A and B are shown apart, each in its own frame.
Chain A
Amino acid sequence: DIQMTQSPSSLSTSVGDRVTITCRASQSISSYLNWYQQKPGKAPKLLIYAASSLQSGVPSRFSGSGSGTDFTLTISSLQPEDFATYYCQQSYSTPFTFGPGTKVDIK
């Protein structure tokens, strides 16, 4: 199985800040990487697919980059509704494993 790691595991930040979350795969996964946002008590929501493609309806302040083993999710200017947990997922080979998550909360 491909193992996914994320850093940091949590971060405290403020509205308007730029936020960067890193995801690393245990082997090369090309650009087969998705990002999801999950708020408490809710199902996850797809933000980014294929490492850098923005899902329809997702604000442009979210962006993704990377290929191979190292990826980043960037929120250019954090909004109040962005406080949530973010997960990466590799879609290179089954099982399509998720990262452990990064919780973004209010400083």
Chain B
Amino acid sequence: EVQLVQSGAEVKKPGESLKISCKGSGYSFASYWIGWVRQMPGKGLEWMGIIYPGDSDTRYSPSFQGQVTISADKSISTAYLQWSSLKASDTAMYYCARQGYCSGGTCYVLFDYWGQGTLVTVSS
């Protein structure tokens, strides 16, 4: 069974650093892109970026480039999202999701499995 399990909720102060995680199981972690999606309170979904754990190829949304760092450690099937200096506006739920599905020789870009979400609260 494919599962993505994210780290627990975090409460941080502005200016602090943070790294949250997403551990995959039940599939070949290195062979599928993992994406991160932000959902601010009461708002919609925002695509932040993706990483291919096999070679750490990473793509960012211009909106998030330079604001966060996406990384992965394929040896422990875990992807990460990190901030060096949090702001109050980073308060949100963050989801990781597996991107990609192949069938009959065709591969599709989609998020088919999602983590449970990590709530990040930044407040002084």
A: residues with CB less than 8 A from B are 1, 32, 34, 36, 38, 43-46, 49-50, 53, 55, 85, 87, 89, 91, 94-101
Contacts and interface: CB of A to CB of B under 8 A. Distances in A.
A94 B47 CA distance: 9
B66 interface: no
Contacts of B112: 46, 55
Contacts of A98: 37, 44-47
A46 B111 contact: yes
Interface in B6-64: 35, 37, 44-47, 49-50, 59-63
10 contacts: A38-B45, A43-B114, A43-B115, A44-B111, A89-B45, A91-B109, A94-B59, A96-B50, A98-B37, A101-B44
Contacts of A101: 44-45
A96 B114 contact: no
Interface residues of B, number: 25
Contacts of B61: 1, 94-95, 97
A10 to B, nearest CB: 12
A44 B111 CA distance: 9
